[in-house]
């Protein structure tokens, strides 16, 4: 199991790390590309999950930027905004803030208490938002 590095209120995962169980971070969490979590990820602040990373179970966070080609096999539950970058695969999203889905995203149901923005072609389940905006490629 990898060790995280703390710098102020932000924690950093080492490059190419994997985490065996559930991970709880009290603050912001910056995760580089190719980092794998085999449990649940709970981040009280902002999560930046690098490209080609994976989370076996769900994510709970303050807000999140999910990198391109990331796989999240459980739900993402956020008290803030969630951005899912190109070609990521996510089980489902429930956010109190706005949700942005980029080109090629595959996601189950998405529920946003704010605006839902879709940029490009995606595959999804039910999409619910206060406002829903769709932009072509």
Q: Note the pLDDT tens digit of each residue in 33-49.
A: 999 999 999 999 999 99
Given a cut of 70, whether residue 137 has pLDDT beyond it is: no
Show the beta-strand stretches assigned E in 1-137: 5-7, 10-12, 18-19, 23-25, 28-31, 36-37, 41-49, 54-55, 59-66, 71-78, 82-84, 89-95, 99-101, 106-107, 110-112, 115-119, 127-128, 131-135
- Phi then psi dihedrals of residue 97, to 5 deg: -100, -160
Let me know: does 29 contact 11? Beta carbons within 8 Å.
yes
Let me know: does 16 contact 1? Beta carbons within 8 Å.
no
Q: Note the pLDDT tens digit of each residue in 121-134.
A: 999 999 999 999 99
Average pLDDT, the chain: 96
What's the number of domains the chain is made of?
1
The whole domain housing 116 covers 5-135
Q: What is the pLDDT of residue 107?
A: 98
User: Strand pairing of 23-25 and 89-95?
Assistant: unpaired
Q: Note the pLDDT tens digit of each residue in 100-119.
A: 999 999 999 999 999 999 99
């Amino acid at each position: 199991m990898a060790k995280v590095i703390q710098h102020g209120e932000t924690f950093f995962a080492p490059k190419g790390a994997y985490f065996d169980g559930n991970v709880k971070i009290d603050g912001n969490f910056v995760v580089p590309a190719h980092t794998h979590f085999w449990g649940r990820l709970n981040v009280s602040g902002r999560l930046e999950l690098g490209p080609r990373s994976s989370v076996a179970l769900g994510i709970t966070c303050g807000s999140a930027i999910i990198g391109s080609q990331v796989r999240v096999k459980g739900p993402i539950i956020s008290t803030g905004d969630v951005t899912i970058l190109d070609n990521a695969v996510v089980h489902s999203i429930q956010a109190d803030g706005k949700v942005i889905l980029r080109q090629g995203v595959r996601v189950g149901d998405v529920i946003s208490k704010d605006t839902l923005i879709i940029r490009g072609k995606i595959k999804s389940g039910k999409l619910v938002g206060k406002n829903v905006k769709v932009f072509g490629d």
